[in-house]
Amino acid sequence: MTQSESSRPSAESSGGARRSGRKRVTRLTVLIRRVHLYAGLFLLPWVFLYGVTGAMYNHKGLLPELEIHSVGAAVTEATPLASFPTADELASRVIKKLREAAPDSEIELSEESTPQFNNNLIIEAVGGEQKRSVEIDPVRRTACVMLYPENEEVLEPMLKDVRSIALDENPYLLARQAVPEIVSAAGFDAPSSTQPMGWCKLNFIATVDGEPARVTYVLRDGHIDITRYEGQDGMSPRQFFMRLHTSHGQPPHWNGRMYWSLILDAMAIAMVTWGLSGLVMWWQLKRTRLIGSLVILASVLTASGLYLSMLDFYATTKL
């Protein structure tokens, strides 16, 4: 047997291993593409929900239920708003009063930051048949009047004279009494005292004079809320979808909110997966690698700049 003949089986086995490796890579690529596709198809309702309601949170005039009437600076300048101070002027006034309140301290306005209002002013205009509020831009001196529609799902109170109850054995007190032992069992020093934190409520359906009622009992202070139960949530469609956007956390019972939290976990995993699988699919297209690399670089630089900008905002601002 010649040397070339003896080496042929080794070359064939090496070629077979390479083909097998390519097949595995191909199958993995197909799997990644399908996970990317079908996860997106299944979670499509939530993608639309969070996309649209996120924009609605950012822009109150998007798909509004309330009426918004703009008022220009030409009008507001003829009102007491013309004397409204700028951020710099107001900061100087505050510094002056702080010096008067703390004469032993040296208080100066820092030149490293610029005084800024964190939000517009919103003031309710009480009176009239319809709820109204006025939003004022303290920088541009413009304003808008917002008229709120009447809620079509007003929850009717029942047993209006009953505002709170006192149980013979307070369950919240039992929980507070257990805290020192729980903290000690976890390996920490027992607390000297405890304070209420958060709002745990007990919700159930009962009947009042034969009528179905939704009962909410607040464990912390014994407050009780009883409304006629007609299967309504008391929110407008816009409020309901925006509430879905912010719904988070896991209740101690398996109910709709718990199932919703599982979808939130799925969305979180899917968003990371879409990012990673998108990178894999992009890298397979050799013609787009250069442009894609530039786009990723621009993305990283933009994200870093905004990250630092928001870090500075929250460091200098109390919301």
Least confident of 22-31, 42-51, 137-146, 304-313: 22-31
Mean per-residue pLDDT, 272-301: 96
The full set of domain ranges for the chain reads 67-147, 154-232
- Tens digits of per-residue pLDDT, 80-112? 999 999 999 999 999 999 999 999 999 999 988
Strand order in the sheet with 224-228: 201-208, 211-218, 224-228
Question: Can you spell out the DSSP letters for 254-303?
Answer: -SHHHHHHHHHHHHHHHHHHHHHHHHHHHHH-GGGHHHHHHHHHHHHHHH
Mean per-residue pLDDT, 111-135: 93
Give the pTM.
Answer: 0.83
Q: What is the structure's pLDDT at 45?
A: 97
Q: Provide, rounded to the nearest whole percent, the portion of the chain with pLDDT above 90.
A: 83
Q: What is the structure's pLDDT at 14?
A: 64
- Tens digits of per-residue pLDDT, 163-186? 999 999 999 999 999 999 999 999
Residue 211 pairs with which residues in a beta bridge? 208
pLDDT band at 13 (very low <50, low <70, confident <90, very high): low
Q: What is the structure's pLDDT at 7?
A: 54
List the one residue out of 247, 275, 274 whose CA is nearest residue 262.
247
Q: What is the structure's pLDDT at 248?
A: 93
List the one residue out of 125, 117, 150 whose CA is nearest residue 71.
125
What residues contact 57, with CB distance under 8 A and at least 6 apart? 242, 245
- Tens digits of per-residue pLDDT, 27-70? 999 999 999 999 999 999 999 999 999 999 999 889 999 999 99
Q: What is the structure's pLDDT at 112?
A: 86
Helix (H) or strand (E) holding 67: strand 67-71
With b for 16 or more beta-carbon neighbours within 10 A and e for fewer, the 137-157 pattern comes to ebeebbbbebeeeeeeeebee
